[in-house]
Structure 1
């Protein structure tokens, strides 16, 4: 099991990446959400220049806000600063698109995006369509040997995927997959089978090295604390609340509540009632829904961080032994890496506690 961290990138605190390397973490993923945080690639550039061991990448980059050649060029530039330890997490943009009131990239467009992206990151020429006319032209990096970028050292592509079409795309063009931590063994196995189908469809065999990462959050309990002690909510509240944001977004599309955890049904009804009383116009409510998303917890949302929500979202909250047992179970299910996303304000202490009391003993 590898241990990663997903960072809410704030350009003035790029030294967090340096501190995480010193703590012993294996990888840092810079979240990419243009309406919420600092630019992920600018932050990664500073981190790359001041670290030497830790893996660096996006967690995850958003297909809907950058052209495929631009994303390839951006991560290849980071790879020039950190050759051989750069990766690209990529997704359709649930948060980054929803926070603008837009839909994530459609499955077919995402598949084409990854086809172009993978070819460019392997130093190949690829046919590429830009614009509504669909006319394709051949593109390639013209100066790969002049020090601008690095496509000589492989940049693994880790695809955020859950639906069957996205999973097949991950199998066809990805080197790994990113998912949420609360998935069952049966669901993980079914997802792997679907990715194998996707790989086979393009004449590819899913390699044994195919990387699987789960996004989660953690808090090591101190004596006398519970899952909902004030310090715990301070440290993990924003990430737990992000699931409520996700449920709300799906509900807006067609009233879908199928993803709402059974043990959180009452909580969901309370949260839905809370959102309906927001003073912001309904047409712009997505702005307030995502306020603080994964970075900080608005005080009025604190009451929704319950033990049921934490357990339903797979939070690694417990004693060191309890957390280690949860991680061993996940590793046996086939996960290669866990990436933790703590609240921004308490990130250093939260992650140091985890490194000292969990990673050191794992």
Structure 2
């Protein structure tokens, strides 16, 4: 079974990558947020030295905080340290840009960046627009001295709405989408992705669907609320933020109840920036992916936890993971939203989901 584990880049927790490899995970990724976490490439370079088989990558970077040639160089450099086991996860920078008070990347910026990055990694000369000028660029080391272009790099794109699906269908090898163990939601995303792949003129199955869930293994006597307090914390709200627009477009299939609940939670988290009492963006993001922000506790209901989270006893975790695969996911992944409990969670994933995989 392919299974991806992701967490925040915390530079003194590089041993988590080795732990994930030993647990049986096929991929390990770290997020990027200049004001939030440690630098992902420094983390991944160290992780490459401690591992031998697990695939390593950004989960995710974005096209704005680093310009495309810089991102291409960083991932090609990592590919020299971990040949043929490097992947580039990229998205619109929901947290990286919003935490700086800026907008996420536009789809046109994502499109241009992916064209440039994929071309450079393929050893091509490409056109790149920067500082108001269009210039031809290419990697100038053709001998593999400084970075590795010989081994292919998987491109993962994190998507939300229909425009994101269309871009993933054009450029990506994998598309990451926030999904829990709910066949109806998985089915809608799978169908729309397959349609987008066909519209892009690529063969069926060209883009694998990766479900991103929030994880917690229940101990005897625990219930869903323990998952919030001791596990994924505010994580489910992130799924609500990225999915709200897409869900509204498919409300007839998904049901008004969960669509409204997810949208309301997302709006309550972000706040209205135009309101007089709107929270400062630094205050909004100060506790992002650090466990539970007590202010979010009233927003996270059992309905949202059941919809977006992979939680339960070991037997339930195995059953839910298999359900997600049977419903149309090619891979299941979890993002460990509390770096201080990540080692515990990786051990739980290994002993429950991956033990017999």
TM, length-normalised to structure 2: 0.87
Residue 334 of structure 1: CA displacement?
2.7
What is the DSSP-based 3-state SS (H/G/I as helix, E as strand, rest coil) of the residue aligned with 1:5?
strand
In structure 2, the partner of 1:213 is 210
Residue 79 in structure 1 maps to residue 83 in structure 2: no
Asked whether the 8 Å contact 2:160–2:243 carries over to 1, the reply is: no
**Residue number among 219, 223, 238 corresponding to 1:222 in the alignment:** 219
Asked whether the 8 Å contact 1:93–1:104 carries over to 2, the reply is: yes
Asked whether the 8 Å contact 1:101–1:284 carries over to 2, the reply is: no
Distance 2:152 2:135 in 1: 25
Distance 1:146 1:300 in 2: 50
Asked whether the 8 Å contact 1:168–1:196 carries over to 2, the reply is: no
Asked whether the 8 Å contact 1:63–1:105 carries over to 2, the reply is: yes
Residue 302 of structure 1: CA displacement?
3.2
**Residue number among 192, 195, 198 corresponding to 2:194 in the alignment:** 192
Distance 1:166 1:34 in 2: 23
Asked whether the 8 Å contact 2:77–2:148 carries over to 1, the reply is: yes
Asked whether the 8 Å contact 2:168–2:207 carries over to 1, the reply is: no
Residue 181 of structure 1: CA displacement?
1.2
Distance 2:268 2:94 in 1: 23
In structure 2, the partner of 1:163 is 161
Asked whether the 8 Å contact 2:26–2:55 carries over to 1, the reply is: yes
Asked whether the 8 Å contact 1:124–1:140 carries over to 2, the reply is: yes
Deviation per CA, 1:80-130: give whole Å up to 9, x if none: 000000000111111111111211111122111111111001111112111
In structure 2, the partner of 1:253 is none
- Any stretches of 5+ residues in structure 1 without a counterpart? 251-255
Aligned pairs for 1:169-318 (under 5 A) are: 169-182=167-180, 183-198=185-200, 200=201, 205-206=202-203, 208=205, 210-229=207-226, 233-243=229-239, 262-263=257-258, 282=277, 285-313=280-308, 315-318=309-312
- Any stretches of 5+ residues in structure 2 without a counterpart? none
Select the structure with the greater relative contact order (CA < 8 A; seq sep ≥ 6): 2
What is the DSSP-based 3-state SS (H/G/I as helix, E as strand, rest coil) of the residue aligned with 1:137?
strand
- Please provide the CA RMSD for this pair: 2.9
Change (3 A) 1:349 1:125: same
Residue 59 in structure 1 maps to residue 59 in structure 2: yes
Asked whether the 8 Å contact 1:233–1:305 carries over to 2, the reply is: no
Q: How many positions carry a matched residue from both structures?
A: 345
Deviation per CA, 1:151-173: give whole Å up to 9, x if none: 10000111112323222222222
In structure 2, the partner of 1:43 is 43
Distance 1:38 1:274 in 2: 24
Deviation per CA, 1:15-39: give whole Å up to 9, x if none: 1112211222111111011110001
Distance 1:73 1:351 in 2: 30
Residue 325 in structure 1 maps to residue 319 in structure 2: yes
Change (3 A) 1:137 1:308: same
Which shifted more, 107-116 or 266-275?
Answer: 266-275
In structure 2, the partner of 1:30 is 30
